[in-house]
Structure 1
Amino acid sequence: MSIKYLFTSFLCAFSLLKVYSQETFVDSTKVTEIDEVVLTATRTARQLSSLPLPVTLVTKKNITRSGTVRLNEILAEQTGIVTVADESGFEGVQIQGIASDYILILIDGVPLVGRSAGNFDISRLTVGNIKQVEVVKGPSSSLYGSEALGGVINIITEKPTKEIVSGNLSYRIGSFMQQDINLDLKQRIKGFRYGVFVNRFSSEGYDLNPEVAGQTVNPFENYTVNARVYNDFSKKVSVFASARYYNQNQDASFSLNDTNFEGDSKEEEWNMHLRFNHIWNSKQAFEYELYYTNYTAVEKLMDPISADILTDSNFDQRLLRPEIRGTHTFNNTSKLTAGLGVQYDQLDRTFFDEKVTFNSQYVYLQYDVDFFEKLNVIAGARFDNHSEYSNQLSPKLALRYKVTNHIAVKASAGYGFKAPDFRQLYFDFTNSAVGYTVLGYNVAIDKLRALQNQGQILDIVVPESDLQNPLEAESSVGYNIGVTYRKRNWNTEINFFRNDFQNLIDTRIIARKTNGQNVFSYFNFDEVYTTGVETNIGYKFDHFAVNAGYQLLYAFDKTKKKQVKNGQVFARDPQTNETIEVKKSEYFGLVNRSRHNANFKVFYEIPSVAANINLRFIYRSKYGLFDTNGNDLIDDYDTSFVDGFVTANIAASKKIYKDFMLQIGANNLFDYTDSNISSLPGIQLYTRLNYNF
C-alpha cells in the first residue's frame, strides 16, 4: 500500500465520520496544564521541570494518541532510548548507550524479574492501563541498588478518581492478524477505590526470510490481568494492594539441519504488591511495603518423527522484598528520605545443578534541599550487603540552579553497580549441536575437573587461581550536565553525559575440548565508556505541536581503544584481502551502538471534526552486530553493519458520538525491512475502536 493511498484513506475516513459526530470538541491546547509529577527520580513527588536529574516522562495522553499497545513501541520513540533484541528475541532497551542488562524495570515502584539471557523483555508489558512511564537516565543505584547501574524505567498504573463506574473497552486489529483487546474498569466510592484491567494480545507472526524454513516471529497469544485496590482509612492511613498475572503461549517450532522440530514456549508471571501509607504528622510520613513476584518460562522442542528432544528448558525465578521507607520534612521544606529492606532471590533453572538463592539487605538515605530559592541539591547514598559479592556503597549528588525564570542548569554524578547474576555464577550449559560449554564462575573449577575426568578436556588455558577470587560486581560512575529552557510554548533541553564502567563481566576461554570446541566462563575484565549529548526541542502553538530529539553517542572499550592507538590491532580488508593496521578513526565502537539517533514528532488537532493526527519519524544510524574479521572489535572493515534507516509511524484519531474513538494508523510507514531486525516486519496497518464510559 502506497503512502499516498494511505493518506487519502485517512482523509476520506475523517470526512465520512464528521457527518456522524455528535460531540462538541474542547480545544485542550488552550488549557494550561499542570506540570507533570514524577516519583521515580527521588522516591518523592517532584515536578518534572524542577528535577536536577535527566528524566523522560511519557504520559497516558501521548501513549493513547500514538496508537502504541506495548511498552517497547512507545519507548523506541523517545530520545536516547533504543530497543535492542537479544539472542532469545527478547526486546530490551539501551539508555545513553548502556545495555538493557543494566536497566532496572519497575511497575508501581517494585521490580520485575525474568532475564533469561540478560534483557528484560519489555514487549511483554501492555500500556493499556498506564498513567505514565518515567525513565531516569544514568546510575540510580543510590536509591534502587543492583540493575539500576544505567537507569530506571518505572511503569505507573492509573488510580481511580470518578465516583461512578468508569473505564474503557477497546479493540485493535492490524497486519499479521495482530489483535489487542483491553477492558479497564475503575471506581471511587468515598475512600475506597478499585481498578480491574484485562488485556489480550495475539499475532499470527511473520517471516522476514522466506528462503529459510520457519517464521521470524512465531504465532503467540498472551493475557494480562491486573487488579488494584486503594482504601483511605483516614486522612493519615491508607493502603494499596495490587495483583498482576501474565501468561503467554507461543509456537516455538523451527528447522535445524533439515529437521523440523515442533514445540512451544510458555511464560507465566505473578506480581503481588501490598503497601501501607502512614502520615504520622505534618512532617513525617512512612510507607510499609511487601512485594512478591514469580516468573516462569518453559520451552520444549522435539522431532515428531524420531521423538528426539532438542530443547527441554525451565526457568523459575522468585523474588520477595519487604521494605520500609520514611520521609521527614523540615521547616525549610527540605526533605530527608530513608529506607531499609531485605531482598530474597531464588532461581531454579535447567543447566543449574540445584536451586540457587541470593539474599541481600540494604539501607538508603537521601536529602533534598533548596538553597536561596534558586539552588536545589539532592544528596544520597545506599549501602547493599549481598550474600554473593562484596558490599556496595552507592552515592549520588545532583543539583539544579535556576538562572532565570526560564533557564536552569542541572548537574549530577552518581555511582551504579550490578551484581553478578545467577547465570554468570552457576550456569552449566553445553550446546548439543555445536559442542561448546559455558560454566558459571562459582562452579567452573568443579565442572572443569569433572570434564577432565571424562576425557573431554584437551588443555586448560588459565591458571586455577584465576577462578578462585570472587567475581566482583560491575560498576559505573555517571555524570550528567544539562541546561533547560522553558518559556510560554517553548520547552528545550540539552544534556551532556558520560558513563565509565569497570569490572564488566564477559566470557573468556578457560579450556579447549577434545572435540575442537572451547569451554567458557565469566570474568571481570572489560572497561568501557559511553559519552555524548542529548537534546530535545518542543514547541506548541494553537492546535499544532512539534518535538524533535537527537542523541550523539560514543561508546568504546578502553582497552581495545588503547590497543588500536598503539598499532596493535589488524584487520583483513574484504575487498583487497590484505591485512592492514586498524586506525583510531576506523574503530567503530561497541556492538549495537549507533553514533546518531533522532526523532521528529508532529501532533495536529482538528477541532472542527473532533480529530487529531500524530506523525513520528525515528532515525537510527548504522551500527555493527558482531566482529567478522577476527580482531575482536568492530571496525570499518567488518561486514556485519546494519545501515542507517528511518521509520515513520502515524496515527489518526476521531471522536464519534459521545464516547467512541476510532483510530487508524500505520507503523513503519516506509515499509522498511532488514532480516537482522526482527521487530521490523514491514508496514503494519491497524484500526482501533475505543469506547469510554
Structure 2
Amino acid sequence: MVVRRCVSGGQGSLTRAKALGGVLFSLFAATTEAAAQAPPPPEAPSTPPAEAPPREAAPSASGEAPSEIVVTGTRTPESVQRATVRTDVVTRKEAERRGATNVAEALEGQLGVQVNPGAYGALGNPSAIQIQGFDRDRVLVLEDGERVIGDVGGAIDLSSLPLTDVARVEVVAGPMSALYGASAIGGVVNVISAPPALLGLSGRVRLEGRLRPGFLLQGSSAYRGDDTWAGADVTVEDRAGVPFEGNEPALLAPARKQRAIGLRAGTAIGSRINLRARARWLNDVSEGTEVQRIPGLGDYVLDLPSVSNRVALHLAEDIDLRGGSNLRLTVGRQWIFQENRKDRRDSPLDEVRDREGTMQSMEAIATIVDGKTRTWVIGARAEMEELTQRITKTETDGTSLSTHETEEVPLTRLGVAALYSQFSWKPFDELTIMPGIRGEMHLRYGGVIAPRLSIAYRPTSRLSLRLAGGRGFRAPSAKELGFLFDHSFYGYRVIGNPDLSPEASWGVTGDVSLKITDEVSFRAGGFVTWIDDLIDFALDPSSSFGGIDTYSYSNVAKARTSGVDARVTLRPFDWLSAELGYAYLWTRDDTNERPLSGRPPHTVMAALRADLPADFELVARFRAVTSTFVDEDLRSPGFNSLDLRLARGLWSGAQAYIGMRNALAARREPGRMGDQRPFDGRAVYLGLIAELPSEEP
C-alpha cells in the first residue's frame, strides 16, 4: 500500500520523521534491554557476523559452494542451500575464474540477470544490471549493506567496483523493499568484503595485461591478530578505447583509467563488542570521442572526457546480546564528484557539467533469537541525500563569445526515516515462515508501507521449495526531480518533474532445488511482477524550440514482467563440473501496449570447469542472447559470447593464466540503430595471481 499525502513544505514532514525516529529508538531500547536480560536458550544457535570470511567447498561450474554463508536475503546469516530466500552467490575466486576484474564482469554471465553496457549507450555505456526485467534505479546496489551512490542516469556502473577486497557478491531477485526500502523492486546486489582469513601478515597481488592495450594491478595486504585486524588494497587499471570503424576518430567505447584505494580495520572490545571501519576512494576517468555531423557545416569531433570521484566511509559496531542475539549499529557517509566535458576540437564552444552529491545514513538492526524456532529482525534507518548540478557553457551570438554558468539542479535534499521488522518462525524443522514489513516516511512523499512474506519448505535434504511475495516501491530520484541531461546536439533534452509520484509494485517469486544424485542437481524458478506509476520520459515532447525537443519525466505507465529459469549442474568426476541453464523473460508496457525496451526474452548459458593434469585448470563459459525489442519496427540482434581461461598453478598460492573474453567477437555494428550488442570485441589477456601465505589448505 502506498499512501500519498500533500506536503506543504518540508517542516511538517520533518516533524513527523523526528517523531517516527523517537518511536524507533524507544522500541530498540526496550527490545535490546529485554534481550539482554533474558536468559539464553539452552541450545540457541550462534549467529556468525555478516562479514565472516566465505567458506568454499568443491565449487561447481557456477561457483556455488555448499557451505557458503549468505546474508542479503534475510539480513541474517544462512547456508546458501538452506536460505529462506533464494540468493545467488559469486565468490571472488569464481569471478576470477571467469576472467572478471570487476563486479560487472563477475555477474555478466550469471543466469537470470543481464549486464550489458551496450544497452545504455546514451548514458555513456555504464555496466548496469538488469534483474527480472528491471534496471537502473529499480535494482538496489549495496556495498556491505550500504547503498552505493553516483549513478549515471539512474544506473550504477558495476564496472567501477573492483574485486580487490571483495569476498563475494550476493544477488537476490524480486521485490526486497520490506528489508531495503526504495529501489529494491527488481532485486538487490550486495558486494561484500570480509576480514582476512589468516592470522598474521598476508598479501595478495594480481597482475594482468591485455593485447588490446591495457593492464591491471590489484594488490592487498592485511594483518590479523587475535582481536584486531587491518587491511589495505589498491587498484590501478587502464583500458584502451574501442574504435568506431576505419580511421574515424569516434570511439564505440571510451578509453578508461581507474584508481582505487581502500582501508579496512576491525577490533574486538571484550568478548561482546566488535568494531569495523571501511574507507574507500574510487577515481574513474573515461575519454570518449564522437563525431557530430551538421548538414551544411560538416563534421565536428567532440572529445567527451569524464571524471568521477567517490569517497565512502562506513563504521559498524556489533554487540553480542547473548543467546544468539545481536545488535548492529552502522554509520555511513559518501561523497560523489562528477565532471563531464564536451570539448569541440578547434572550437571554443565547449561545455562542462559538474555534479556533486552526498549521502549520510544511520542504521540499527537487532536480531533477537526467541527460543529454538523464532527469530526477530528489527531495524531502523535514517538517510539524507543531497545533490546539485551545474553547467558551464561557452556560446556565441555570431559576433562574440560568452561563458555563463547555470544551476541545472538546485540543491535537492531527499530524506527518509524507516522502521522495518521481520519474523522467522520454524513450526517444524522442515518449514520456515518469514513475514516482514517496512514503513518509511519520506520528506517529500509522506508514508510508504511495504510488506513481504517468504516461505521455505525442505521436506528432505535433497529437496527445497521456496515462495516469496511482497511490495516494492521506488521514490523519484533527485535527478528525475531536477534536470538530468542535455543532448541538444542530438536534437533533444530531458528535464525533471517535481510532481512525480513514487513507483509501486507487487511481485511473487518461487523456486525449487533438487539434488537428484550426488553428481546431478537441478534448480528452477519463476516470477511475476506488476508495477504502477512507472517513471519514464513521455514519448511526446512537451515543447520544441529551435529544433530541440524537450521531454519531461512523468508517471507514464503500468507494466508487467514475468519469467522462468532452470539450471542443471553436473559433477560426474571430482575433476570435472558443468552447468547448463535457460532463462525466459516476458515484459509488457500495458500503457503503450508493447514490450519494455531492451529486455532480451531468451538466454541460454553453459559452463565447464576441468582440473587437468600438471595442475592446469580450464574454465569455459558460453552465453546466447536472442534478439531484443527496442522500439516499433526496431530490434537489437541476438549474439553469442564465449569466455575461455586456462590457468596453471606455479606454487602454493600462485597461479599464471591466459584467457580470452568474447572469443566469438560479438560486437555492435557501428551506425546501426538500436544495436545493443556488446561494445567490446575479442579481448586476450595474460596474468598472474599470487597469495602469501596461501589461503588454500
Give the TM-score range, shorter chain. 0.7 to 0.9
Query: Which residue of 1 is the match for residue 88 of structure 2?
Result: 56
Please say which of residues 421-430 and 276-285 is displaced more in the overlay.
421-430
Query: Which residue of 1 is the match for residue 7 of structure 2?
Result: none
Query: Which residue of 2 is the match for residue 682 of structure 1?
Result: 681
Contact 1:283 1:330 in 2 (8 A): no
Superposed displacement of residue 389, structure 1 = 1.7
Query: Which residue of 2 is the match for residue 227 of structure 1?
Result: 263
Q: Deviations over 1:148-178 (max 9, x none)?
A: 1110000111321222211211210113212
- The 5 A counterparts of 1:13-162 are 34-85=66-117, 86=120, 87-88=122-123, 89-162=125-198
Please say which of residues 392-401 and 324-333 is displaced more in the overlay.
324-333
* Aligned with 1:623 (options 617, 622, 628): 628
- What amino acid sits opposite 2:621 in the alignment? R
Q: Deviations over 1:448-498 (max 9, x none)?
A: xxxxxxxxxxxxxxxxxxxxxx42111111101221112423332111110
Q: Deviations over 1:318-352 (max 9, x none)?
A: 10001111111011242100111210100011253
The yes-or-no answer on 1:397 pairing with 2:466 is no
Q: Deviations over 1:636-691 (max 9, x none)?
A: xx1x3222221000111101134421011001111222233474432111111122
The yes-or-no answer on 1:420 pairing with 2:476 is yes
* Counterpart Cα distance in 1 of 2:652 and 2:461: 41
Contact 2:288 2:305 in 1 (8 A): yes
The DSSP-based 3-state class of the residue aligned with 1:503 is strand
Query: Which residue of 2 is the match for residue 531 of structure 1?
Result: 562
The DSSP-based 3-state class of the residue aligned with 1:245 is strand
Superposed displacement of residue 526, structure 1 = 0.5
* Counterpart Cα distance in 2 of 1:283 and 1:131: 24
- What amino acid sits opposite 1:78 in the alignment? Q
The DSSP-based 3-state class of the residue aligned with 2:408 is coil
Superposed displacement of residue 514, structure 1 = 4.6
Contact 1:252 1:301 in 2 (8 A): no
The yes-or-no answer on 1:282 pairing with 2:287 is no
Unaligned 5+ segments in structure 2 are: 1-56, 294-298, 391-406, 670-674, 693-697
The DSSP-based 3-state class of the residue aligned with 1:433 is helix
Superposed displacement of residue 136, structure 1 = 0.5
* Counterpart Cα distance in 1 of 2:195 and 2:360: 24
Q: Deviations over 1:82-125 (max 9, x none)?
A: 11332221120111111232111111111101123121111111
Query: Which residue of 1 is the match for residue 610 of structure 2?
Result: 604
* Counterpart Cα distance in 1 of 2:348 and 2:447: 49
The DSSP-based 3-state class of the residue aligned with 1:391 is strand
* Aligned with 1:330 (options 366, 370, 376): 370
Superposed displacement of residue 420, structure 1 = 0.6
Please say which of residues 346-355 and 390-399 is displaced more in the overlay.
346-355
Superposed displacement of residue 536, structure 1 = 1.7
Superposed displacement of residue 621, structure 1 = 0.6
Superposed displacement of residue 428, structure 1 = 7.1
Cα distance change of structure 1 residues 111 and 598 upon mapping to structure 2, 3 Å threshold: same
* Counterpart Cα distance in 2 of 1:525 and 1:692: 53
The yes-or-no answer on 1:546 pairing with 2:578 is yes
The DSSP-based 3-state class of the residue aligned with 2:330 is strand
* Counterpart Cα distance in 2 of 1:559 and 1:659: 56
* Counterpart Cα distance in 2 of 1:361 and 1:652: 50
* Counterpart Cα distance in 1 of 2:128 and 2:59: 34
Cα distance change of structure 1 residues 678 and 126 upon mapping to structure 2, 3 Å threshold: farther
The yes-or-no answer on 1:214 pairing with 2:214 is no
Query: Which residue of 1 is the match for residue 650 of structure 2?
Result: 656
Query: Which residue of 1 is the match for residue 465 of structure 2?
Result: 409
Query: Which residue of 1 is the match for residue 533 of structure 2?
Result: 503
Superposed displacement of residue 235, structure 1 = 2.0
Superposed displacement of residue 29, structure 1 = 7.7
- The 5 A counterparts of 1:153-192 are 153-192=189-228
Contact 2:116 2:678 in 1 (8 A): no
* Counterpart Cα distance in 2 of 1:424 and 1:28: 46
- What amino acid sits opposite 1:621 in the alignment? T
Contact 1:659 1:692 in 2 (8 A): yes
* Counterpart Cα distance in 2 of 1:67 and 1:504: 36
Superposed displacement of residue 611, structure 1 = 1.6
Superposed displacement of residue 544, structure 1 = 0.4
* Counterpart Cα distance in 2 of 1:480 and 1:79: 16
Unaligned 5+ segments in structure 1 are: 1-26, 443-469, 562-586, 628-633
- The 5 A counterparts of 1:170-569 are 170-210=206-246, 212-257=248-293, 258-262=299-303, 264-309=305-350, 311-350=351-390, 352-427=408-483, 431-433=487-489, 436-442=492-498, 470-486=499-515, 487-508=517-538, 509=540, 511-515=542-546, 517-540=548-571, 541-561=573-593
The DSSP-based 3-state class of the residue aligned with 1:63 is helix
The DSSP-based 3-state class of the residue aligned with 1:482 is strand
The DSSP-based 3-state class of the residue aligned with 2:97 is helix
Contact 1:96 1:137 in 2 (8 A): yes
* Counterpart Cα distance in 2 of 1:271 and 1:226: 9
Cα distance change of structure 1 residues 264 and 530 upon mapping to structure 2, 3 Å threshold: same
Contact 1:207 1:681 in 2 (8 A): no
Superposed displacement of residue 622, structure 1 = 0.6
The DSSP-based 3-state class of the residue aligned with 1:41 is coil
Contact 1:494 1:536 in 2 (8 A): yes
Cα distance change of structure 1 residues 28 and 592 upon mapping to structure 2, 3 Å threshold: closer
Q: Taking every aligned residue pair, what percent have the same amino acid on both sides?
A: 22
* Counterpart Cα distance in 2 of 1:398 and 1:228: 34
* Counterpart Cα distance in 1 of 2:610 and 2:102: 23
Cα distance change of structure 1 residues 119 and 261 upon mapping to structure 2, 3 Å threshold: same
RMSD: 2.1
The DSSP-based 3-state class of the residue aligned with 1:255 is strand
Superposed displacement of residue 302, structure 1 = 2.5
Q: Deviations over 1:188-209 (max 9, x none)?
A: 1111011111111111211143
* Counterpart Cα distance in 2 of 1:501 and 1:435: 31
Please say which of residues 84-93 and 614-623 is displaced more in the overlay.
84-93
The alignment of Structure 1 onto Structure 2 pairs a total of residues equal to 600
- What amino acid sits opposite 2:129 in the alignment? V
Superposed displacement of residue 501, structure 1 = 0.7
- The 5 A counterparts of 1:1-12 are none
- What amino acid sits opposite 1:345 in the alignment? E
